[in-house]
């Protein structure tokens, strides 16, 4: 599965924060009962959205599926006891749409947003900010660290 990805799109904390704020501009006129975050990736945008829209009621749908770039079976560890009416449903991204399809079944009436969307999954969300190519792996800041980089001359001439 990992060889589906031929490019990387690296998102910094700053970039993510700017993107989520931009998404919030498109959501601010709506009223939501609360936010449902899809764990784990949805938790960070959900917290930032909650701050911008002044939402205090936050719930989770807990899903386990990818092991890094490899998608396995989809396991729902925790659901919610409503159909999502009036709620904002948040994930960081939609890729194949497998996660989104499952969560949509659980909360058919929620307004579903992601920050990033790839073409296969895009039809499953109501709104997203940025489209990313299907063969592109989005590298999030929480999966990265700051590391030393050797000077170019040493990399090339040594
Ligand atoms: O559209 P799909 O192909 O289903 O992929 C999208 C899902 O994959 C990632 O989650 P992941 O399963 O990696 O777990 P995590 O959020 O706990 O990191 C991402 O946060 C989405 O939830
Ligand atoms: N970090 C990350 N997780 C994913 N899960 C499915 N697709 C992706 C992706 O592009 N990036
Ligand atoms: Mg996820």
User: Of 14, 92, 143, 154, which one is the catalytic site residue?
Assistant: 92
- Angstrom distance (rounded) from CA 101 to CA 52: 27
Give the pLDDT confidence of 64-117 residue by residue, as tens digits: 987 777 777 899 999 999 999 999 999 999 999 999 999 999 999 999 999 999
Sign (positive or negative) of CA dihedral 99, 137, 69, 91: negative
Domain locations along the chain: 2-157
What are 103-155's pLDDT values in tens digits? 999 999 999 999 999 999 999 999 999 999 999 999 999 999 999 999 999 98
Verify whether ligand 2 is closer than 6 Å to residue 138 (CB atom): yes
Q: Which CATH architecture has domain 2-157?
A: 3-Layer(aba) Sandwich (3.40)
Q: Which secondary structure element, helix H or strand E, spans residue 152, and what is its range?
A: helix 152-157
Assess: ipTM above 0.90: yes
- Reported as a single tens digit per residue, the pLDDT across 7-44 is 999 999 999 999 999 999 999 999 999 999 999 999 99
**Percent helix / strand / coil, the chain, rounded to 5:** 30, 35, 35
The residue from 31, 67, 95, 135 that is catalytic is: 95
């Amino acid at each position: 599965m990992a060889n589906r990805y031929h490019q990387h799109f690296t998102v910094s904390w700053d970039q993510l924060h700017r993107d989520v704020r931009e998404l919030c501009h498109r959501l601010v006129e709506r009223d939501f009962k609360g936010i449902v975050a899809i764990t784990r990736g949805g938790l960070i945008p959900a917290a930032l959205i909650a701050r911008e829209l002044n939402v205090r009621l936050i719930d989770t749908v807990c899903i386990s599926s990818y092991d890094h770039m490899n998608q396995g079976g989809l396991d729902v560890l925790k659901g919610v006891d409503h159909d999502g009416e009036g709620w904002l449903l948040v994930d960081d991204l939609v890729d194949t749409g497998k996660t989104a399809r499952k969560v949509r079944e659980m909360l058919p009436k929620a307004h579903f947003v992601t920050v990033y969307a790839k073409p296969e999954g895009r039809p499953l969300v109501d709104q997203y900010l940025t489209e990313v190519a299907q063969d592109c792996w989005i590298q999030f800041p929480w999966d990265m660290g700051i590391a030393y980089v050797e000077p170019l001359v040493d990399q090339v001439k040594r």
